[in-house]
Structures are given as C-alpha cells and as structure tokens.
Amino acid sequence: MKRQTLRKLILFISFFFFPITMFFLSPILPYEGIFHEGAAGILVGAMIIFILQFIVSLFFGRAFCGWLAPCGAFQEIACSSVNNKPAKGGKLNLIKYAIWIPWLSGIVVGFAMIGGIKSVNFLFHTHFSLAYEEWGQLTIIYFFVSTIIVGLALIFGRRAFCHYVCWMSPLMIIGTKIKNFIKLPSLRLKADKTKCISCKICTKNCQMSLDVEYMVKNDKMDQAECILCGACVDFCPKKVIKFGL
C-alpha cells in the first residue's frame, strides 16, 4: 500500500496549495486574458497548463487526475469519511462535454476575433499579480469552488466532479484516446485475466467507480475515465493488474 500512501500524500499537498494553484486551473482566466481591457489577446497561465495537460496525457493518460489534481484531493478526503459510494457513469459522463465544448469553442473564437495571441503572461490575474486588498475576494472564490467540488462528491459519490463537471478532463481523455489509438508507448494498466478470482476488490476500490473486473475479463483496460491511481493494482490480492507501457 506504499504507493497509495504516497499518492494520497501528494494529493494532500496539492490540496494544501490549492488556494494558490486554483488560478492556474481556472476556466475563467483564459477569457479574462483574451478580452482584457487595454491588453487583449493574453495567453494566460491556465491555458498553458491545459495545453501541457493534453501533451502529458499522450504519455501518462489521466495520471494528473489521479496523482496531482487538487479537485480530486478534495473529493477523496470528503468521500473517504462521509460518502464513499460509487458515482454513476455511463451517459452522465457526457455532461462535462456539454460544459467543455462551448467553453473551449469560446476561447478559440475569442482569440480569432482579436487576431490571435498577442502576448503570454503566465502570472496574469494570479496571487502574484493581484493587489493584497483583493485577497479577501479570492478567499470567497476559494470556498465557493471548494463547496461545489465537495458537495457534488458527497451527493453523487466518489469523484463526481471529475465525472460530470471537470473542464480539464476532456482534453486529457482525448489525449488518452489518441495514444491508445496510435499505440504510443505510455503508462497504462495491463491485466492477466487468467488469475482473476472475481472478488471485485478492484472495482470496490476504483476511485472513478469503474467496473474494473469487467475491464479485466474483457481485455478493456484502456478506459478513458481511468485516472491511473493504481488502487486496483495495489488492492488486488492476486496481482492480476499491473502498470505497464
């Protein structure tokens, strides 16, 4: 279980620093950069992070979600003690695309309207560029966002925010599907289904509420909603599942 202890420690650190990092994950700042009065067309830090997430997903899938995402940390902390029921997936997972497609389209159209990227400012409208007097407003934003993330998980189950709302996951899902389609050497799960005893421990411990036993028995380990947290690898009593390339 040492790997899960390390993963949770990293997530806790990510959770601790979320008041600072939340602006680098903001869906709003890209628009503020595009239409900023007097200096439009700014490529902000959040957009750079989103682009990097896509690139990294070509080699590590959605490992960011399982190991680094502060939003995931919020949910795992909340659900581990209050509501650890699985979140429903299936068609409900499509909700996030109804959010992501208009959001990304607006960014693309926005840059097109003003003639493209005019400048790059990684620290635009973050703690490092805002006046101290504005930090009170940031505190309100922090608690508002945190309440939504935790609230969804408490109501609908493990990592419900990741399933239904997250605007970052679609790009990483696309990257994961691309790497799987072109068979790019990358971090992935592999399984030896002949060892499976159908105990369902893998499914019970999956942070994304996936039917891991079904994935094993049907040779479908490349699941786009998998965040490569490794819980199924570490909890399996027969070591059926492992990380591979």
The domain of 82 spans 2-187
| Pairing of the two strands 119-121 and 42-44 | parallel
Q: Does some domain include residue 177?
A: yes
**Contact criterion met (CB below 8 Å) for 207 and 229:** yes
Total number of domains in the chain: 1
Q: Does some domain include residue 73?
A: yes
pTM: 0.88
Instruction: Say how far apart CA 24 and CA 42 lie, in whole Å.
Output: 14
Return the residue matching tokens 């902000």: 44
Q: Does some domain include residue 77?
A: yes
**Contact criterion met (CB below 8 Å) for 66 and 168:** no
Q: Output the tens digit of pLDDT for each of the chain's 245 residues.
A: 689 999 999 999 998 888 888 889 999 999 999 998 777 899 999 999 999 999 999 999 999 999 999 988 888 887 777 767 888 888 899 999 999 999 999 999 999 999 999 999 998 887 665 555 566 677 788 888 889 988 988 899 889 999 999 999 999 999 999 999 999 999 999 999 999 999 999 999 999 999 999 999 999 999 989 999 999 999 999 999 999 98
Instruction: Say how far apart CA 232 and CA 228 lie, in whole Å.
Output: 9
Q: Does some domain include residue 202?
A: no
Q: Does some domain include residue 132?
A: yes
